[in-house]
Amino acid sequence: MKEINSPGDFLEMVNSFRISRIILTAHELNIFTLLKDGPLNSQAVAFAISADERATDRLMNALVPIGLLKKSGTLFSNTDFSTRYLIQGQPGFMGGLSHIVQLWRTWSTLTDAVKAGTSVAMQKPIGGREDNWVESFIAAMHARAIQQSKEIAAVLDLSQVKTSLDLGGGSGAFTFEFIRENPVIRGTIFDLPNVIEITKKYIAREGFENMVKTVAGDYLTDKFGYDYDLVFASAIIHINSPEENRSLVHKCSEALNPGGQLVILDHIMNDDRTDPAVGAIFAINMLAGTLKGDTYTEKEIKSWMQEAGLKYIRRKDTPQGSSMMIGVK
């Protein structure tokens, strides 16, 4: 538990949203990308983004002490970090910031969500959202999954896995890494139709067209096949209600071959739901942004697996902080 030692520490925490908002606005306005070819003054940038000159100047001035722009006279230029990570088209571009922009809007409704007990942001289901929202969401999830998939593949026993299902698999980053760990594996990625169109692009980019197939549907209502040695569900259960998860885990169990394993990767909470801290905070993200989502305890997840007939249920934590629940059919 983090201890707050002084009013100054407290106010710094409360006011940290200001730096976040400055960065997100600069990202939305493509300021870093506009500076990719060299220094510009704020007047030129304001003209390019159809914004007020004084306001643009003040925004760019604020990015200097934050460490994302440099200023010489009236000319602004990118820092090394901004050049590497904040310019569209660069290999390291952090396109997932667009998803954080969307989160900002839902989190702004948190007070009303707490009163109502559910999201009041009136968001469409992912299957019905605009293409640019879905693209930015998948990009954000892919950036996280690239590193996380390496640690997960390193600690899971994939030696006997020949067929895998990545449920709600998004970009397919976990499936790709599982195949790199064991090239025998042939993977299936299941996700919503509008997501699967994006998934296919990632599959082609990674060169896995002959090893990975896709299935489009809603995992709560549609069948996703059988005869899998591994069903992997990452960042899935926190979207659903307990009842939906109970049903989903049962479907996953039915889809497994004898001896196959269900792996649930998510925030796994202690009994009083205060630890890990990132999970406690993420539960608020689910409250503000979803109708039924939450983070769940180890006991809750274990009970769903037991009811689905899975055995040898255990929790596995990685040195990097990821947590999984694993059950065997």
pLDDT at 61: 98
- Residue 155 near residue 316, CB atoms below 8 Å: yes
pLDDT at 132: 73
> Token pair for residue 104?
């900002």
Count of beta carbons in the 10 Å neighbourhood of residue 186 = 16
pLDDT per position as a tens digit, 265-279: 999 999 999 999 999
> Token pair for residue 283?
């539960």
Q: Tokens 């070819």 belong to which residue?
A: 37
**125 DSSP assignment:** P
Q: CA–CA separation, 137 vs 102, rounded Å?
A: 9
Alpha-carbon distance values, 138 to 17, 48, 81, 98, 153 (Å)? 24, 28, 23, 10, 20
Give the pLDDT band of residue 127 (cuts 50, 70, 90): low
Alpha-carbon distance values, 191 to 30, 179, 219, 223, 299 (Å)? 30, 19, 7, 11, 27
> Token pair for residue 165?
């299902």
How many residues in the chain?
A: 329
pLDDT per position as a tens digit, 9-50: 999 999 999 999 999 999 999 999 999 999 999 999 999 999
Give the pLDDT band of residue 135 (cuts 50, 70, 90): confident
Q: Where do the domains of the chain lie?
A: 7-92, 111-328
Q: Tokens 């704020």 belong to which residue?
A: 42
Alpha carbon of residue 275 to chain centroid: 20
Report whether pLDDT(143) > 90.
no
Q: Tokens 């968001």 belong to which residue?
A: 123
Q: Do domains 7-92 and 111-328 have the same CATH topology?
A: no
**5 DSSP assignment:** -
Rg, the chain, Cα only = 22
Q: CA–CA separation, 218 vs 222, rounded Å?
A: 5
Alpha-carbon distance values, 10 to 2, 3, 6 (Å)? 11, 10, 6
Q: CA–CA separation, 172 vs 102, rounded Å?
A: 23
Alpha-carbon distance values, 148 to 173, 175, 231, 233, 240 (Å)? 9, 12, 17, 13, 22
What is the sign of the dihedral through the CA atoms of 302, 303, 304 and 305?
positive
- Residue 195 near residue 131, CB atoms below 8 Å: no
| Pick among 3.30.450.20, 3.40.605.10, 3.40.50.300, 3.40.50.150: CATH of 111-328 | 3.40.50.150
**pLDDT, averaged across the chain:** 94
pLDDT per position as a tens digit, 168-210: 999 999 999 999 999 999 999 999 999 999 999 999 999 999 9
Q: What fold is seen in the domain 7-92?
A: Arc Repressor Mutant, subunit A (1.10.10)
> Token pair for residue 225?
């096949």
- Give the three-state DSSP class for 168: coil
Q: CA–CA separation, 14 vs 2, rounded Å?
A: 14
Report whether pLDDT(303) > 90.
yes
Q: Tokens 């990009």 belong to which residue?
A: 139
- Residue 45 near residue 99, CB atoms below 8 Å: no
Give the pLDDT band of residue 116 (cuts 50, 70, 90): very high
Report whether pLDDT(91) > 60.
yes
Give the pLDDT band of residue 140 (cuts 50, 70, 90): confident
Q: CA–CA separation, 269 vs 9, rounded Å?
A: 27
